Each structure stands twice: as C-alpha cells, then as structure tokens.
Chain A
C-alpha cells in the first residue's frame, strides 16, 4: 500500500509540475514566438512524457496513479479557457498512452526491465502512437474521427514534450549525482 501511495504522489507531482511548466512558460513563449500555431496546440507538451514513462514502468496502474492529477488539471484548464475538450478526455489520454506503450513494446519486445540501447527510442515511438490514439479517442468523443493536421500538431507537441522531459531527466540525474 505504501508503495502505491509513494508512486501516486511522485507521479502526480511530476504531472502537475510538468503541466504547470507547459502552461506557465512554454505556452506563453509559443504564442509570442509562433503566433501562427493555434493556442490549443502545445508544441512542447511535457506531461506526455510523464504519462509515457509512467505507462512504461507501471503499466495499467499508471492510469490510476495519474487520473486524479489529470482531472485536476483538466478542471483548472476548463475553468480558465472554457470547455475545450470532452470530460472523458483525461481518461482517454491515459488509456491511449497505455495502449500505445503496450502495442509498441509488444511489437519491439521491450519491457520495463530492458536497459538496451534502443529502449528510449522505442519509448518515443510509443509516445507518438499513444498520442495518435489520444487524438483518435478525443475525435471519437467529439464525433469526428479523422486524421487532421490538428491531430498531427498534438502528436508533434506530445513527442517533442516527451523528448524534452527525457532530456531534463538526464540533467536531473546529473545534478543529483553531483549533489550526493
């Protein structure tokens, strides 16, 4: 039980911090530097990295761990910007990440125990697949399933956000190693 509480706290914090960073720093910068890109598309969506890493290490449990923080951010975003996404979209997003991860890791025969050279690359591919599923799932909820440029925009933002988060992890581990 203690382990689940710890996982829940760590993953929730990671999700909330990455989401806050995206909304407070990346999105305003994007709207200034790339004003032609719609505000609804974040070109560096860091929380996707948290979702994918959680799905890789915790499997289906990652959905339960991240659901409360996903809904918290959804409620805050809805209050700030209005009803942009359907109420089930946080759940669909987490499910899509898990399914994307499951599909790609099964295909590539990569498990959370693997430390091979390509694991991180497969994680990014799974992130892309998960993002496409997420777009399709939200489209299904909105009654409009099609591969639109907006969906591609979400996928680019999700994967670049995941990549950026993994780079941030490199420097985080370097930092704590120096600190010990």
Chain B
C-alpha cells in the first residue's frame, strides 16, 4: 500500500474510533473491531489480513466464528473492507 494511503487509513481509523467513542457511529461493535483488526494486521503483514489471523486477533476474541464470518461478508458487500489477491480469505480496509 502506498505510504500516503496508509496515512489516510490511519487517520480514518483514528476518527472512526473517535466517532465510536463519542457515540456518533452507526457501526456495530463487531464491525468496528473488525475494521480495526483488519487495519492492524494490514499494517503488520505485507498489506493484507488473513481470515485465520483475524480469528486469532485479540480484538475479536469476544465474538464467535460465525459472527465474524457473517460480519466479514456484510462489510465486504457494504464496501468497508475488500478482498485482496487471487486466494480467498485475505482482506484489506477499503479506504
């Protein structure tokens, strides 16, 4: 991911957190945690977050596997995250 885009993603994540903290968000708790986890893994692992890494992410431990998969699907459709690469199960935030 280009450096500028990374900075924009960080800025967006920061204001998303702020939005949630101030109660201005219409995203669910799971969605917010998922976006943050994807972005977190994205910055650590060569530009994408795998499903298996997401399932083990500390932010998502309170949610069941089916809930996470459902949220991933819904967020992919709504355009909040997007799939990357030719192999299934890799995501990146859609900034």
A contact set with B: CB distance below 8 Å: 3, 6-7, 53, 57, 112-113, 115-117, 119-120, 123, 166-167, 169-170, 173, 177, 180
Contacts and interface: CB of A to CB of B under 8 A. Distances in A.
Given A7-B4, A177-B79, A120 B15 contact: yes
Given A113-B43, A115-B39, A166 B15 contact: yes
Contacts of A177: 79-80
B18 A120 contact: yes
Contact of A53 (B11, B24, B94): B11
Interface residues of B, number: 23
Given A170-B19, A170-B24, A180-B79, A119 B4 contact: no
Contacts of A173: 12, 15-16
Contacts of A116: 17
A76 to B, nearest CB: 28
B38 to A, nearest CB: 11
B92 to A, nearest CB: 14
B8 to A, nearest CB: 9
Contacts of A57: 7, 10-11
B17 A115 contact: yes
B17 to A, nearest CB: 6
A3 B3 contact: yes
Given A53-B11, A115-B40, A180-B79, A120 B17 contact: yes
